[in-house]
Structure 1
Amino acid sequence: MAMQERIREGTTGAILFDPAVSPQVDDGWFEPEVWREQGALRHQSGGRGGVAIIDTPAGECVLRHYRRGGMVAKLMGDRYLWKGADHTRSFREFRLLGHIAALGLPSAPPVACRYQRHGLFYGADLITRRIPDAQTLAECLAAGRLDGEMAELVGALVARFHRAGIWHADLNAHNVLVTDDELYLIDLDRGRLREPDDSWQRANLLRLRRSLVKLGAAVKGEPVFEETLWKPLIYRYERTLRA
Structure 2
Amino acid sequence: MVQAQVQSTTDGAIVFDAALGISPGPEWFDAARWAPLGRVASGRGGVVFVDTPVGACALRHYHRGGLAARLSADAYLWSGAARTRAFREFRLLARLADSGLPVSLPVAARYVRSGFAYRGDLLTRRIEADTLATRLSQGRLDAVLAQRVGRTIARFHAFGAWHADLNAHNILADAQDRISLIDFDRGRLRKGQLAWQQANLARLHRSLVKLGAHRVQDFEARFWHPLLAAYHEAMAAKALAAPESS
TM-score category of the 2 structures, normalised to the smaller one: over 0.9
Describe the SS at the equivalent of 1:53: strand
Task: Write the distance in 2 (CA, Å) between the matches of 1:21 and 1:110.
Answer: 11
- Residue 204 (str. 1) matches residue 192 (str. 2): no
Q: Is the 8 A contact 1:117 1:123 kept in 2?
A: yes
- TM-superposed deviation, 1:180: 2.1
Gap regions ≥5 residues in structure 1: none
Between the aligned partners of 1:70 and 1:116, the Cα distance in structure 2 is 22
Q: Higher mean Cα deviation, 134-143 or 54-63?
A: 54-63
Displaced runs of 4 or more, over 4 A: none
The 1-side partners of 2:228 and 2:137 are apart by: 21
Give the distance between the partners of 2:122 and 2:99, measured in 1 at CA. 20
Identity within the alignment, %: 50
TM-score, scaled relative to structure 2: 0.92
> Match for 2:57 among 32, 54, 61?
61
- The residue matched to 2:19 in structure 1 has which SS? coil
The within-5 A match list for 1:22-171 is 22-37=21-36, 39-44=37-42, 48=45, 50-132=46-128, 134-171=129-166
Per-residue deviation at 1:227? Answer: 1.6
The alpha-carbon deviation at position 40 of structure 1 amounts to 4.7
Alpha-carbon separation, structure 2, partners of 1:104 and 1:172: 22
TM-score normalised to structure 1 length: 0.93
The whole-number CA distance in structure 2 between the counterparts of 1:120 and 1:22 is: 33
Q: Is the 8 A contact 1:108 1:128 kept in 2?
A: yes
**How big is the shift at 1:23?**
2.1
Deviation at 1:124, TM superposition (A): 0.1
Name the residue aligned to 2:223: 229
The separation in 2 between residues aligned to 1:81 and 1:13, in whole angstroms, is 14
Task: Give, in whole Å, the separation in 2 of the partners of 1:60 and 1:145.
Answer: 26
> What letter matches 1:155 in structure 2?
G
SS at match of 2:215: coil
Structure 2 distance, partners of 1:44, 1:83, is 31
- After superposition, the C-alpha distances for 1:19-38 in whole angstroms (9 at most, x for unaligned) are 1024211101000122123x
**Residue aligning to 2:241:** none
